[in-house]
Structure 1
Amino acid sequence: MSDPKVLNATIPNKMVLIFLSTRAVYVLLRPLHQTTIMAQIIGGALMGPSLLREIPLFPMGSRYVLRTFAEFGMILHAFVLGVQIDLGLVKHIRKRAVIIGITSTLLPLVFGLSSFRIVQRISHLDDETASSIAASVVVNSMTSLVVITGLLKELKMLNSELGRLAASITIVSHIFGWSARFLLPVFCAISGIRMELYLINEKSFIKIEFIILMSYLGKFTGVMVPSLFFGMSFLKASCLALIMCCRGIAEIAVYCMWKDRKIITNQIFAILITNMVIITGISTTIVGYFYDPSRRYKLDVRRAICKSKQNSLRILVCIHKEQNVNPLISLLEVSNPTRNSPIAAFVLQLMELKGSVTAFLKPHHQQTKREAASSTQLINAFSQFQRCYYGNVVVQHFTTIAPYATMHDDVCTLALDKRVVIIIVPFHKQWGVGGMLESTDLSIRALNRNVLHKAPCSVGILVHRGQNKSNRPVYTGELLYHIVMLFIGGADDREALAYSRRMAEHPNTSLTVVWFITTDQNRPSTEMPDDHELDNQAFDEFKDSMVGNKIIFREEIVKDGIGTTQVIQAFTETFDLFIVGKNHDPCSKATLGLSEWIEYPELGILGDTLVNSNDEFSVLVVQQQPKESRHELKSIQ
């Protein structure tokens, strides 16, 4: 008999060993897009008797205690998942998802049970093995909602087009089947440890494996065929079918329960877990490599204000919290909504996925009262803004609930569907009264970077510097709203100039345009060959269209970045808003020496310089085309 004191002392050591080994396996397999559950099972198998048969690393005494902890963790996990599942989503499932969900459940049963009958007739299986296989076929025909959504979240596809369809399908499949971060890894690792591959009988293995693989083939076919029928591309249909073939924590729990109750044999248990690891591992690798959700909204040439032939401005504004509302409304006001140049504003409230397993993107009128409760004040503010500019502004409200890691998919998808020319996102830092920093959210910063990289149109990052006078309503006409546009050159500056041009037409704004001229005009440019010509052309058109005493043009000759900084610092606090382009020619003398001190690369050199000043003006940083896309266009030309 083992000493209980010694046994109790070794349990924490065993758990630490499990965490370290499974984490090491996860790090090694991460480049192959493997999930944490797969890593935990493989880590457990490496420590179990399948590999260390002569080294009893986990003797039966400690294994029983660990299983108690693990099963308690599984109970907690199941409880949390039960709370998170929203069966109200069933009402919103479309016909395509229902049909694919039904076929993905029935065809695996047909394929698996048919192959089981064939094997039984050709080569008789003993009663224990036969009953185990029949039960396994039933389990393999089901798909767990929590497994698929968890897998999609780790692959960063939860709120992609394919991810939402997969979640809808699993809800249907879930109905046909069965309706803690600390202890769950132990549960998965113990499942791997309980695998005893040396018990597999070579004679019966081929028969069992054939039946199980036919069940997986039925699942793949049951998803693939109706997906192609509904017009999905071969790549999307294949990836969706592979996702639906994945297995996870729900199946592991059933296999372990059936093994304990002698419903399946030790051999069947080992084969099922092995198949799950191999097929899920291969599927996630293929899907992670071939399916890119951003491919849907990536355009060779992005939509932009300067390229738009319409007078109307279609703009998407993103909101995280109530503090973002007033600055964004002020920006929409100075964007000059009129009868001849109206604004279509699409307001997207961004909320992190918490307390639910499924993400969604919905217009306001499709939300339930519970879902819309958090948006009431936001909607009231923009409705008031729309009433003030009745007939000149149309506002549509949307809400997305998704993980921050993939939230940019919803932003970019909505921008593509609504044909917007610019997306406005708030900066990740929030300043309060007196310029004091109130909050910083690195998740929002990562989101902004993803939007900058993948958006199908221009992007503006709005940096609001405290509760200054830029919050006041522009339409009152009490004071002029002073705007400064800093121009060095390049596609982003031309887009910023086009936006400034629209703002300058507002009767209650004044615009100052500062063009930084350097002494290196004849140097070889790293930008596109005709970049300087496009800059001159944009300025000539701007000057021709902007006739009025509210427009001030200044040309500043600078030798380096220090000279540019000195010019910027010369501006007083009387200005409300600075508009700058994000990217510039890295060889330009106007920014020479400034890139070494940049703190926020997503704002560009000038934007970073302005934000790090002590003044309280707001800053709008505009990007028309990211650097990599610009270099691609250059190589094409």
Structure 2
Amino acid sequence: MAEAKACYVEEVFNPNEIWKTGSILTKYAPLLFLQIAFNIFICNIFHYILRPLHQPRLIAEVLAGMCLGLFSATDNIMVRLLLPSEGVINLETYAAMGIMCYCFLSGLEMNLDDILKIQKKKAGSISIAISGIIIPMLMGLGFYALIEKLYQEPSILIFRADNQFKAKAYLFWSLALTITSFPVLARILADLKLLYTGLGKATLTTAMISDTYGWLLLIILIPFANNDVQAFWSVLGTIMFIAFCIFVLRPVMTKYIEGSKNEEEDTWDNSLLLVVLMGTFACSFVTDVLGTHSIVGAFVYGLVLPHGRFADFVMRKLDDFVSVAMSPVFFFRSGLTVNFFMLAQQKYWPCMVLIMFLLSIPKVVSTLIATFFFGVPIRDGVGIGLLLNSKGVLAIIILNTAWDRKILSVVAFSIMVCAVLMMTILVPLLVNAIYKPRKRYENVRLRTIEKLRMDSEVRVISYVLNIRQATSMVNVLRAFNATRISPLHVFGVHLVELIGRATALFASQIKRNPANNSELQNLSHSQLLSENISTIFKTLAEACAAVRVQTLDVVSNYETIHRDIQDLAEQKRTALILMPFHKELDVNGDLETSNDDEVCRNINQNVLQDAPCSVAIFVDRGLGSLSRINLHIMMIFIGGPDDREALAIAWRMARHPGNKLSTIRILLSGEAAAKAETSNHDEIQWLSSAAEDEESQKLLDEECIESFRFKGVYNNDSITYSEEEVHNSEEFMSLLHELDKDDCDLYIIGRGRGGNSVMFLNFMEWCDNPELGVIGDIVTSKSFGSRSSLLSVQQFGSRVMMFGDRDVPTKTDGGGSEPFVNTL
């Protein structure tokens, strides 16, 4: 059969001898803008549909192209409008620019020093990465040979690659199979809340090493795809160019960038972005001329530019535009190239589908072999292997390069693109099924301060968003009585929002220890903030030998970051999660909203719902200004699990030398003790069950108070205990005002609402901050006028249920639903 050829012929007449083309603005630009707008629109639709399945954005972009490719096989008005022959070249050019900028940003956010450090320390990850390259390449050769054997029909020979490229086709096919996309994998792990598990850390490190090897293989392989004779010189020239960028271009650009910095604002002008982008295209042009690929120059250029704050600046300016408006066109175009109709017409199309599924096996097999020698459980080995099947931009680039150079046939190219897509889609679904969350064990109920013995270790997680919150957390933690017999183990967590490119996740996992001010200046804003927060938490350990501090970062979307905190508390087996209040103290001594107001409040409320241990919210009103811990603490006890937990914390603090504890038990009687009545069936059912539980709660309250009085009050002169009786809301408010005259430094209260008391339910309707409870909201309100700090405590098992616009506490006898976590 004669070979089919296609070309574009267009006559151009222009009296201007400089530009050999037609009018750009009137003829080409409108069509290109329409194509870009359609691409962004359709990709966002697919991304919105796939987001609940934890699919990366790249999948939505390729699928969008595939769907349009199905329509392109028929001659319809949409195809003629969006994909006319005269607009193909411009779209291809724009897609090439988009992928160059994408790879530039990929290099900019990676740090070669960190990669080398990881490879020196993680022998297991190196072994998994190497086996994940060698074994899939060998198995990939067999799969490609099978395809060659099946598709020998004369009717498709015109779609077959040239025989002279058969050896190269084997290499490109196998290399695409071995690639693991570190950025895509990082995003998947973050969405599945596995990033901070042992499985997540091991997989992420392996992916980083595998991604590095993938780039090295790409540099070597692509020149051989162009010209076997000059391939050696292309590789040598590329290596020399990389050395030039590292040893010559990097110092020059670093000096130029530092000289362009606005010292007053500690940032750079937007004009610097023009110079940066010009350098990106120049380096891309050099590597393209050398015979490698334009993306190699862009990636290396980004790799050698200064990291830290400059990288933050460039990312902030370019990331959204590149990731949303430029690079999706390249992935869209890749999906558009897939020919489903050609695949469906093949005689052995069921074998083709089977091969797509079998292509996901090599990574799993290689990982199981490597992890077997390190004693990793089979389930974790399968999980790591599945995660390493995550594909991304590098695999797509390799396949497109082979397609553009006619190395791969339509059949081979389409099968591998579909396999890459299918593997990446299945990764989050299968991993989530393997590590499906299950109910907590019953012994989790013991993770409360009340259940801890006085001679046991207290494990606390304290998360913060900024330095001021970290200082507040450290000062309240100092009040805990950490001794050699009952030490304090603090996990200081800095919450970082996951925005933009997922590769930044890995940088945040690497613990940096700047040796001098120069290294400190090179840190990004988030890294510098993390270092400062870590230093503040470590002062807690320096002040007391009985305190152990471990700091870490949690990087995730703010909407779901509470799940990371809950999982971390589960893994660390903590008894308390200490949270900052969303309002901060202003210069006038009032609580005002901060920059992180809504973010912090939403996180706190989400953590309160399903925390695996007790939770406390700390409202700082000057406690951090004390030069030493010498506190007057007031604990208000009404009854219920939250109050008992608050009393347990106050009792521990009272044992700290210099601290004074005043415990006031409020007894409700008369109108204040009246129970709520309702005609709502759901509330009647709950109130009935709560009434059944009320007697048992009273017995527990009495036991707790008697134990406290006998062991605490009678044996410690710094602890006082008194009881006050109130009959209505007026007396209750008067008592609170009277107590506040004692000028205590810290209130410790339970978050509980006082059961189904009418008085407390009425107070709740006026609460501005229900997460603090009734008393907490009153004490922190401006109308109350108190200047004391507050610690509002919720015991595990007593979180609230919502009824309409009102909250009521759940039963604490084990009823209701239990929270869930990812368990490994």
TM-score normalised per structure 1: 0.85
- Label 1:299 to 1:338 Cα distance change in 2 as closer, same or farther (>3 A): closer
Distance (Å, rounded) in 2 between the aligned partners of 1:591 and 1:513: 18
Work out whether 1:620 is the aligned partner of 2:791: yes
The structure 2 residue matched to 1:505, chosen from 647, 655, 661, is 655
Work out whether 1:114 is the aligned partner of 2:281: no
- Label 1:119 to 1:274 Cα distance change in 2 as closer, same or farther (>3 A): closer
The structure 1 residue matched to 2:702, chosen from 505, 514, 536, is 536
- Label 1:77 to 1:521 Cα distance change in 2 as closer, same or farther (>3 A): same
Paired residue for 1:64? 89
CA apart distance, 1:632: 8.0
User: How many residue pairs were aligned?
Assistant: 628
* 1:215-250 superposed Cα distances (whole Å, 9 cap, x missing partner): 321122222454466455554443332222222222
CA apart distance, 1:483: 2.3
* 1:165-207 superposed Cα distances (whole Å, 9 cap, x missing partner): 2211212322432142232223222322333322335136556
Secondary structure at the residue paired with 1:526?
helix
- Label 1:101 to 1:605 Cα distance change in 2 as closer, same or farther (>3 A): farther
Distance (Å, rounded) in 1 between the aligned partners of 2:31 and 2:482: 71
- Label 1:35 to 1:329 Cα distance change in 2 as closer, same or farther (>3 A): closer
What are the within-5 Å matches in structure 2 for residues 520-535 of structure 1?
A: 520=674, 524-526=688-690, 528=693, 530-535=696-701
Work out whether 1:515 is the aligned partner of 2:666: yes
CA apart distance, 1:80: 1.2
- Label 1:577 to 1:261 Cα distance change in 2 as closer, same or farther (>3 A): same
CA contact (8 A) 1:111 1:217 kept: no
CA contact (8 A) 1:141 1:215 kept: no
Work out whether 1:494 is the aligned partner of 2:636: no
The structure 1 residue matched to 2:62, chosen from 18, 38, 41, is 41
Amino acid at match of 2:179: M
Distance (Å, rounded) in 2 between the aligned partners of 1:469 and 1:115: 67
CA apart distance, 1:74: 1.7
Structure 1 vs Structure 2 CA RMSD: 3.9
CA apart distance, 1:263: 2.2
Question: Which stretch of the first structure deviates more once superposed, 254-263 or 526-535?
Answer: 526-535
Work out whether 1:78 is the aligned partner of 2:231: no
Secondary structure at the residue paired with 2:139?
helix
Paired residue for 1:546? 713
* 1:471-500 superposed Cα distances (whole Å, 9 cap, x missing partner): 31344x5xxx33232333322221111011
Distance (Å, rounded) in 2 between the aligned partners of 1:20 and 1:395: 51
The structure 2 residue matched to 1:439, chosen from 589, 594, 602, is 594
Distance (Å, rounded) in 2 between the aligned partners of 1:550 and 1:498: 13
Secondary structure at the residue paired with 1:40?
helix
Paired residue for 2:196? 159
Gaps spanning 5+ residues in structure 2: where? 1-9, 11-21, 217-321, 677-686, 801-809, 819-824
CA contact (8 A) 2:659 2:718 kept: no
The structure 1 residue matched to 2:131, chosen from 100, 103, 108, is 103
CA contact (8 A) 2:467 2:529 kept: no
Distance (Å, rounded) in 1 between the aligned partners of 2:606 and 2:197: 14
- Label 1:135 to 1:608 Cα distance change in 2 as closer, same or farther (>3 A): same
Question: Which stretch of the first structure deviates more once superposed, 497-506 or 86-95?
Answer: 86-95
Identity within the alignment, %: 24
- Label 1:152 to 1:413 Cα distance change in 2 as closer, same or farther (>3 A): closer
- Label 1:114 to 1:80 Cα distance change in 2 as closer, same or farther (>3 A): same
Distance (Å, rounded) in 2 between the aligned partners of 1:364 and 1:457: 31
CA contact (8 A) 1:484 1:578 kept: yes
Question: Which stretch of the first structure deviates more once superposed, 50-59 or 351-360?
Answer: 351-360
Amino acid at match of 2:67: L
Work out whether 1:170 is the aligned partner of 2:207: yes
Distance (Å, rounded) in 1 between the aligned partners of 2:763 and 2:201: 44
Amino acid at match of 1:85: M
Question: Which stretch of the first structure deviates more once superposed, 269-278 or 294-303?
Answer: 294-303
Amino acid at match of 1:617: S
Distance (Å, rounded) in 2 between the aligned partners of 1:490 and 1:163: 39
CA apart distance, 1:82: 1.0
The structure 2 residue matched to 1:323, chosen from 436, 451, 468, is 468
CA contact (8 A) 2:530 2:553 kept: no
CA contact (8 A) 2:46 2:61 kept: yes
Paired residue for 1:30? 51
Work out whether 1:579 is the aligned partner of 2:605: no
Distance (Å, rounded) in 2 between the aligned partners of 1:375 and 1:44: 40
* 1:448-479 superposed Cα distances (whole Å, 9 cap, x missing partner): 345445554322221213xx36631344x5xx
Distance (Å, rounded) in 2 between the aligned partners of 1:91 and 1:251: 26
Work out whether 1:427 is the aligned partner of 2:581: yes
CA contact (8 A) 1:330 1:474 kept: no
- Label 1:610 to 1:14 Cα distance change in 2 as closer, same or farther (>3 A): farther
Gaps spanning 5+ residues in structure 1: where? none
- Label 1:177 to 1:458 Cα distance change in 2 as closer, same or farther (>3 A): same
CA contact (8 A) 1:423 1:459 kept: yes
Distance (Å, rounded) in 1 between the aligned partners of 2:757 and 2:750: 14
TM-score normalised per structure 2: 0.67
* 1:410-448 superposed Cα distances (whole Å, 9 cap, x missing partner): 655665565543232222332222115262314444443
What are the within-5 Å matches in structure 2 for residues 261-280 of structure 1?
A: 261-280=405-424
Paired residue for 1:137? 174
Question: Which stretch of the first structure deviates more once superposed, 498-507 or 513-522?
Answer: 513-522
Amino acid at match of 1:223: T
CA apart distance, 1:72: 1.7
CA contact (8 A) 1:482 1:576 kept: yes
CA apart distance, 1:402: 2.2
Paired residue for 2:726? 557
Paired residue for 2:547? 394
Question: Which stretch of the first structure deviates more once superposed, 208-217 or 145-154?
Answer: 208-217
Paired residue for 1:306? 450
Amino acid at match of 1:462: F
Paired residue for 2:761? 592
Paired residue for 2:224? none
Secondary structure at the residue paired with 1:262?
coil
Question: Which stretch of the first structure deviates more once superposed, 304-313 or 5-14?
Answer: 5-14
- Label 1:147 to 1:11 Cα distance change in 2 as closer, same or farther (>3 A): same
Distance (Å, rounded) in 1 between the aligned partners of 2:768 and 2:434: 34
Amino acid at match of 2:617: I
